[in-house]
Amino acid sequence: MGQIGIVQTFDALFLIEFVTIYYLLNRKVSNLKINKDTIKQLLLLNTFKSIVDFIASDEIVEQGIIGSTLDIKDKQFMRFMEDKIKKISADVRILSNSIYLLENFEEKSNKMISYCNDIKYMVLSSMLMLAITLIPFGDNFIILTLGFVIGLEIIGMYYSILALILYREIKNDYTKIISKNTNK
């Protein structure tokens, strides 16, 4: 077994590891695809709840209508509005966080699914290119092909890590929403 055989063996082992990680990632992505609508509905309900809480928590709109109807002077009305806005800043932050979680979930889940699809094609390309290296085309061609395969596998592993990080972030966000709703 020469040096090229050793590199082929190393690459085959690396490919096995890459395929294993892809399999685990694909299972997580399939779970996400199945539950994506449910998670999105929960996030939409949480956002809607935040909007309703924000509107119902203070009578700022009601007081604004009354103030304009009773012809309260602008300075008095502005002071009133300033006091009310300071009091509802926490509600605004909660509303903003709810909307952010919803948009963030959409972005992260779409990225994760896209990464998984890209990884699938990298796995297939790596397998095909590794099979090509078994055909004796010459040492230079085999070395070039092995370098390309190893590079593809490294990029695929990087994408796998990114996808797993996104999955963990989605799970953490979902857990925050669930725990927040069950504590009330």
Q: Which amino acid is at 136?
A: P
C-alpha span between 170 and 101 (Å, rounded):
9
Q: Which residue has the higher pLDDT, 73 or 37?
A: 37
Range of the structural domain that residue 94 is part of: 1-182
Helices (H) and strands (E) in the chain, counts: 5, 0
CA angle 8, 13, 15 (to 5 degrees): 90
pLDDT tens, 138-184? Answer: 888 888 888 899 999 999 999 999 999 999 998 888 787 777 766 65
Structural domains of the chain, count: 1
How far apart, in whole angstroms, are the C-alpha atoms of residue 77 and residue 45?
34
- Residues 102-135 pLDDT 10s: 888 889 989 999 999 999 999 999 999 888 888 8
Nearest Cα to Cα of residue 148 among 22, 23, 7, 19: 7
Q: Which of 24-33, 81-90, 111-120, 152-161 has the lowest mean pLDDT?
A: 81-90
